[in-house]
Amino acid sequence: MLAENKKKQIWDWLADVPDPEIPIVSVVDLGMIRKVNVRNDAVEIEVSPTYSGCPATEVIESSILAKLNDEGLAAVSIRRVLSPPWTTDWISEAGREKLRQYGIAPPVGSASKRELLGKGAVHCPRCGGGQTTVVSEFGSTACKASYKCDECLEPFEYFKCI
């Protein structure tokens, strides 16, 4: 039972580790933490990057180690898990709401091939309007696209389904 309590505490600490590119969401909100393994005093965190070439991966892993070291855990290791690959389906509902409040439209639907072909309307995170236009398939990071709301005329980013 002690190991389960320790795991829960570690998950709570990891929920405070922000994504360096979108600091309003944590690595837990994004679903990047796959598993927390506790064996005696050793802790292994399984992490999936949002995509294999993500430039923030090393920063995220270092931030996880630093957070857990700051909380008094010394024997911490990170295991990068690439299979199955991370998907936007793993973003929590809380994470989606945080993205929306930050001004980024969360992914629409699921990342399944069938759903990607018939992408639904991207709603403006500012006014909620469904009439939006793609400005560029490429936003400030590879995982976002630039949009404009045709109702309130505000630009915003959309977190693409991956």
Segment 133-155 shows an average pLDDT of 92
pLDDT, residue 112, reads: 53
Residue in the structure block whose two tokens are 């855990």: 73
**Structure tokens belonging to residue 143:** 């995982």
pLDDT at 157 (0 to 100): 95
Burial of 13 (0-12, 13-18, 19+ CB in 10 A): middle
Q: pLDDT-derived band of residue 116, with 50, 70 and 90 as boundaries? A: very low
What is the architecture of the domain spanning 2-80?
A: 2-Layer Sandwich (3.30)
Q: How confident is the model at residue 52 (pLDDT cuts 50, 70, 90)?
A: confident
pLDDT at 41 exceeding the cut of 90: no
- Sign for the pseudo-dihedral over CA of 74, 32, 57, 59: negative
Average pLDDT value for the chain: 90
Mean pLDDT value across residues 23-48: 96
Amino acid at 79: R
- The residue extents of the domains of the chain are 2-80, 93-159
Q: Where does the pLDDT of residue 114 fall: very low under 50, low under 70, confident under 90, or very high at 90 and above?
A: very low
pLDDT digits (tens, 9 = 90+) for 73-83: 999 999 999 99
Place of tokens 């959309």: 158
State yes or no: cis peptide before 84, omega within 30 of 0.
Answer: yes
